Amino acid sequence: MARGTSSGSEAGTGQEDRVLEAGQRKGGRPRDATRDTDILEAAREVLAERGYERTTVAEIAARAGAGKATVYRRWATKAELVIDTLTCGASSTITIGDVPDTGSLRGDLAAVRSMKSRDAASWQALVGLISELPHSPELTQVVNERVVGPRAVLMRGLLERAQARGELLPGVNVELLSRVPSAMVAYRLLVTHEPIDREFRRSLSEDLILPLATGRSRD
């Protein structure tokens, strides 16, 4: 999340403020938390309109009614700001705990599909970051932890739940399988720009995951 001086607590996530992460607390005006959200809001707006490359920090700041310094006090680079755009929101990501146990993998997958998520937006914003990743291991790590990681974790959770039920075929490569949906979605959004529609999502479950995991697409 943002690299806030604001506390030192909130923590866990990762980034830091370059200007004295911990300590230095005494005088001065505290950070205005509304600026964070305004800026993220503006960033999402501009990203949606223009895409990463054509988005300028200056415009984000202007739309947020903020100065560039206010932006850079919170995020070290445009890329990091955009990342937070993906996840701050932020309970947008579905976790295994959000998915009711329907009694079958097929049911669980259907349940997930029916849950609204902002994933598409996340992927979209990721588009422009792709080219930054090779230069920045940290960025790569963050993207994987926050954007693609949670999806794989969810998938793995569902597969393990199925395994506990005895649904899984022996010898299924869970690790690999849990990456398939993310990869297919990324492929469409980044490369072919085909839509991620209901039918596509259905066939990911029915034609790929279920047969691989349980050996049958129908019964």
Residues binding its own copies (CB under 8 A): 51-54, 126-128, 130-135, 140, 143-144, 148, 171-173, 176-177, 179-180, 182-184, 186-187, 190-193, 203-204, 207-208, 211-212, 215, 217-218
CB of 148 to its own copies, least distance (A): 6
Query: Could you say which of DNA, its own copies, none residue 7 binds, taking C-beta under 5 to 8 angstroms by partner kind?
Result: none
Q: Residue 176: name the closest of 155, 145, 195 by CA.
A: 155
The H or E element spanning position 69 is helix 68-74
Query: Could you say which of DNA, its own copies, none residue 69 binds, taking C-beta under 5 to 8 angstroms by partner kind?
Result: DNA
| Residues in 21-60 at the binding interface with DNA, rule: CB under 7 A | 24, 26-32, 35, 54-58
Q: Which CB atom, from 162 or from 204, has the smaller least distance to its own copies? A: 204
Q: Which CB atom, from 24 or from 144, has the smaller least distance to DNA? A: 24
Angstrom distances, CA of residue 139 to CA of 41, 113, 126? 21, 28, 11
**Torsion angle in degrees (nearest 10) through CA of 92, 96, 100, 101:** 160
> Could you tell me how many residues make up the chain?
219
Bond into 120 cis (ω within 30) = no
Please state, in angstroms and rounded to a whole number, the distance separating the CA atoms of residues 146 and 143.
5
Segment contacting DNA (CB under 7 A): 77-85, 101-109, 174-182, 208-216? 77-85
